[in-house]
A and B are shown apart, each in its own frame.
Chain A
């Protein structure tokens, strides 16, 4: 069996460590909105992501008993990151987080408290409040937030194991709209900075990683692609390309040409 591209890249990079757990892949993927469960599993495998997000919802007692995602996704194969998606208050997010932990997989929670239905922008005050409570209860909180430095710093102070600013609104596919703020957040935090939401295609993922962040979390970019499995391959390469380009250190950009070949030794 050939070595995966993620394995090959290990020689050039450190693992991503979140809350004491090592990940070789810097790509975290969601499991929502796929046309079929089979495509979802194939796309996630193609992405080589290790951490995958899931949502907590009522069992639909009127429908098939196979709708739970764990009937399709092997929890021994992936590291499950439960989210609090859909919550609009700190109280609800805390309730969902506790339910998720009671499922018995791990202490990690992707904390998400939405403040506005149209933009799905986070309610950062409620997010901070919930982050404090959950961290005190022993949760390893990975907090979805906006690209605001002060909130990011406060979330780190609250005990979050990762801070996850958005590239642009959830599901928008607009890419990273404020690379300066993303870089500033990354440069000021000790905990991993994972860009969560807004990546639309491979170039977005690559540009995001080139800002020096520790990873990217995406869902719609894969699930809503015409061919999610192919896009998952593309994203895997893009994340790796952006990461290695960042570590390699790019050449200075100039607005004038500089020849690549010697200017001496030309024939008369």
Chain B
């Protein structure tokens, strides 16, 4: 039996379909984000940068991508 080739995740507060089998660094690449410029929180846990290439995005994951913006 074949699995659908997309999965559903919650990305920055919105439901989103992404390709199955993406690692976090490939997800960032698909969003045109530089891995050094964002911090990734996966299911409320901060993901170390050196894990981006080895951790897969899974169906139902909650992902937060944050960065620095102007502020006081």
Cβ-Cβ contact count across A and B, 8 Å cutoff: 97
Asked if B65 and A59 make an inter-chain contact with CB atoms under 8 angstroms apart, the answer reads yes
Asked if A99 and B32 make an inter-chain contact with CB atoms under 8 angstroms apart, the answer reads no
Q: Interface size class for chain A? A: 35 or more
Q: How far apart are the CA atoms of A100 and B69 in the complex, in Å?
A: 11
Which residues 121-173 of A have a CB within 8 angstroms of B?
A: 170
* A57: Cβ under 8 A from any B Cβ: yes
Smallest CB separation, A236 vs chain B (Å): 18
Query: B38 touches which one: A59, A100, A197 (CB < 8 A)?
Result: A59
Asked if B33 and A65 make an inter-chain contact with CB atoms under 8 angstroms apart, the answer reads yes
Asked if A103 and B39 make an inter-chain contact with CB atoms under 8 angstroms apart, the answer reads yes
Asked if B68 and A70 make an inter-chain contact with CB atoms under 8 angstroms apart, the answer reads yes
A residues less than 8 Å from B33 (CB atoms): 59, 65
Asked if A220 and B72 make an inter-chain contact with CB atoms under 8 angstroms apart, the answer reads yes
Which residues 40-70 of B have a CB within 8 angstroms of A?
A: 41, 46, 48-49, 64-70
Q: How far apart are the CA atoms of A40 and B68 in the complex, in Å?
A: 15
Q: How far apart are the CA atoms of A131 and B70 in the complex, in Å?
A: 23
Asked if B68 and A56 make an inter-chain contact with CB atoms under 8 angstroms apart, the answer reads yes
Residues of B within 8 A of A (CB): 11-14, 31-33, 37-39, 41, 46, 48-49, 64-72
Residues of A within 8 A of B (CB): 30-34, 40, 53-61, 65, 67-71, 80, 82-83, 85, 98-100, 102-104, 170, 197, 217-220
